[in-house]
Amino acid sequence: MFKGEGIVEENKNDIKNRWGFIIVKAIAYVILFSAIFILQNLRYPDEFRFISKHLDRIDFGREFYPEGSLLVIFLFLLVCLIFFKKKLLVYFSIKPLKKVNTYIWITVFLLLIFMLEHASTGFKYIFQINIHPFHFTEYAILFLMTSIITPLEEELVFRSPLLFMFNNKFRYLWLLVSISWFTIIHNDVIFAISFSIGLSILTIKFKNLWVPIVAHLIWNLYALLVI
């Protein structure tokens, strides 16, 4: 066999291996996100509602189970730990949180979102819930859900694939998918699109997940305090 023919054969094998890897990866993504969809939309038995049972008086406009969100967080972290252990340590590093520049970016992002939300809706859809006088337990659970669980879950689901799962070639395709998905689950389209784009920019800019999580947490905490 000539040297050139050997190179051609190697290239063919590389292409086959690459496509095989892509197909396996695609199947894994479909299974993972199907599981997430099921966990987010499953109607949980009363015995499992150790968090949401405290929020029965609050009308969220849809059935909401933070217990499912905890399962999603656990599932995503487990997948990342098994398949992306080295990346997990890098993308969950707290180093960016020690830099002033990080908080400048977060502040600018939140100010832009604040002005956009105020101009477009006057915060009509800041949270899609009907407000009642809350008990302390309800406030505590609502804080846990909106300011801790939700930022963790949504950044893992929508932003972590930008770092863990997709290279530059497919990253922007996922960006479109995640923005569309994020918009579907939020009533305010303009807010959802701009918020998702901004958090994605923070994720890619700092190559870190704590930065968008902190930004998301601050915004949700602010929204909770003003409702």
9-36 pLDDT, tens digit per residue, is 445 455 556 666 667 666 777 777 777 7
Residue 172 has pLDDT above 70, yes or no: yes
pTM recorded for the entire structure: 0.79
Which is it for the CA torsion 152, 156, 162, 163, positive or negative?
A: positive
Rounded to whole angstroms, how far apart are CA atoms 155 and 163?
Answer: 11
Average pLDDT, the chain: 77
Residue 102 has pLDDT above 60, yes or no: yes
Per-range mean pLDDT, top range of 3-12, 98-107, 115-124 = 98-107
Residue 189 has pLDDT above 50, yes or no: yes
Kind and range of the H or E run holding 209: none
CA distances from 31 to 25, 57, 198, 217 (A): 10, 35, 28, 28
> Please, are residues 146 and 128 in contact by the beta-carbon 8 Å criterion?
no
Q: Which residues contact 171 (CB under 8 A, 6 or more apart)?
A: 162, 204
Q: Is residue 165 left, alpha or beta, with left meaning phi > 0 and alpha meaning psi from -120 to 50?
A: alpha
Confidence tier at 62 by pLDDT (50, 70, 90): low
Q: What is the mean pLDDT of residues 137-160?
A: 86
Note the pLDDT of residue 204.
92
Q: What is the mean pLDDT of residues 164-179?
A: 79
User: Closest Cα partner for 218 from 193, 188, 198?
Assistant: 198
Beta bridge partners of 59: 130
Give 110-119's long-range contacts (Cβ < 8 A, gap of 24+): 110/215, 110/218, 110/219, 110/222, 112/194, 112/198, 113/191, 113/194, 113/195, 113/198, 113/219, 116/190, 116/191, 116/194, 117/188, 117/191
Note the pLDDT of residue 208.
95
Confidence tier at 194 by pLDDT (50, 70, 90): very high
Note the pLDDT of residue 136.
72
